[in-house]
């Protein structure tokens, strides 16, 4: 493993949004909160937070638990078939052409909101009226308090029992490796050794990393293992997004949609992701309200 490489600022901002939350930017000046008036509730006087419902749903709804558990349960039922039919869950463009079928099997898993639940960090941002920044994120990771998503540990142990290695391909930076692996072990996830953590900054010989796209690291996984399944909460966890626009994302999804529910498994994450900046031209430099207005404009009212 090598130290994190310096990345283009624009690419890094988009990448961080796709892996941990709203990309770090100086917070826009907030309008003064209107004074309470007769008939005006405290809630109405407070600015709305885009993430309130999303974080509350993740933390409190049975529906979220059910979706996560059924995803991992369904995937576990297909492990024997994946091994027998020698599935390869990497798209041909990211799969080494000269590697045979004799490689050991592996499952590639994103970490955040795929294996570990970071909703307490998001809840802190909501409570404080803040947005993501690297300092608070690193401090949260260092606490090693993230819980496992429902069903993921049972799936991982079932895969391990069949001789499948779990690879953690994450946009957590390399300097967070020790805390991350400790958290994974604490919740019961199999961790073969340090090599299974493919974090942001992992050097891949012969491949130039573009921002925090995971292409190079998927290629590295494919050189060492036959990847039979991939799990993530973002489209970019499965293949490279060439154009992070609604149309570009739809095109990638349509090209590979038949793999979802077999080789690819998507977990729900309404709290952040690359889908969000796609709605405001990937420009986190805009004030928060400008970004919110762009998202409002993307809503479909069918009238």
Distance, CA of 280 to CA of 298 (rounded, Å):
9
Written as six digits, the tokens of 205 are 């010989």
Task: Kindly state the DSSP code that residue 260 receives in the 8-state scheme.
Answer: B
Distance, CA of 192 to CA of 194 (rounded, Å):
7
By residue range, what is the domain housing residue 264? 50-272
Q: What pTM did the predictor assign?
A: 0.85
Tens digit of each residue's pLDDT, the chain (303 residues): 443 333 343 443 444 444 444 433 333 333 333 333 344 344 444 568 999 999 999 999 999 999 999 999 999 999 999 999 999 999 999 987 766 668 999 999 999 999 999 999 999 999 999 999 999 999 999 999 999 999 999 999 999 999 999 999 999 999 999 999 999 999 999 999 999 999 999 999 999 888 889 999 999 999 999 999 999 999 999 999 999 999 999 999 999 999 999 999 999 999 999 999 999 999 999 999 999 999 999 999 999
* 158 found inside a domain: yes
* 279 found inside a domain: no
* 79 found inside a domain: yes
Written as six digits, the tokens of 153 are 């540990």
* 257 found inside a domain: yes
What's the distance, CA 111 to chain centroid?
Answer: 7
* 122 found inside a domain: yes
* 112 found inside a domain: yes
**What is the domain count for the chain?**
1
Written as six digits, the tokens of 303 are 């009238």
Please, is 144 exposed, middle or buried when counting C-beta atoms within 10 Å of its C-beta (0-12, 13-18, 19+)? middle
Task: Kindly state the DSSP code that residue 120 receives in the 8-state scheme.
Answer: H
Could you tell me which of 249, 226, 228, 224 has the C-alpha nearest to residue 239?
249
The pairing of beta strand 116-117 with beta strand 147-148: antiparallel
Torsion of CA 146, 152, 157, 162, to 10 degrees: -140
CATH number at residue 254: 3.40.50.1000
* 136 found inside a domain: yes
* 5 found inside a domain: no
């Amino acid at each position: 493993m090598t130290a994190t490489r310096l990345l283009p600022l624009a690419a890094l901002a988009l990448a961080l949004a796709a892996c941990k939350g709203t990309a770090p930017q100086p917070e826009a000046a907030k309008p003064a909160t209107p004074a309470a008036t007769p008939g005006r509730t405290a809630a109405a006087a407070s600015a709305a937070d885009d993430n309130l419902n999303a974080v509350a749903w993740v933390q409190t709804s049975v529906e979220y638990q059910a979706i996560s558990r059924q995803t991992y349960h369904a995937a576990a039922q297909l492990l024997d078939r994946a091994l027998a039919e020698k599935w390869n869950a990497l798209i041909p463009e990211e799969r080494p052409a000269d590697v045979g079928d004799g490689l050991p099997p592996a499952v590639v898993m994103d970490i955040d909101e795929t294996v570990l639940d970071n909703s307490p960090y998001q809840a802190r941002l909501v409570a404080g009226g803040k947005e993501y920044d690297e300092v608070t994120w690193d401090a949260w990771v260092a606490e090693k308090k993230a819980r496992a998503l429902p069903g993921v540990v049972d799936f991982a142990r079932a895969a391990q029992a069949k001789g499948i290695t779990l690879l953690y391909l994450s946009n957590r930076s390399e300097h967070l490796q020790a805390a991350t692996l400790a958290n994974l072990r604490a919740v019961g996830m199999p961790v073969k050794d340090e090599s299974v953590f493919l974090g942001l900054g992992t050097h891949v010989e012969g491949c130039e990393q573009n921002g925090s796209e995971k292409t190079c690291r998927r290629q590295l996984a494919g050189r060492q293992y036959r990847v039979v399944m991939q799990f993530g909460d973002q489209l970019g966890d499965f293949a490279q997004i060439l154009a992070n626009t609604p149309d570009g994302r739809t095109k990638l999804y349509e090209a590979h949609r038949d793999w979802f529910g077999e080789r690819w498994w998507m977990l729900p994450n309404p709290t952040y992701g690359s889908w969000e900046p796609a709605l405001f031209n990937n420009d986190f430099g805009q004030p928060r309200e400008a970004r919110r207005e762009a998202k409002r404009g993307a809503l479909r009212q069918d009238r």
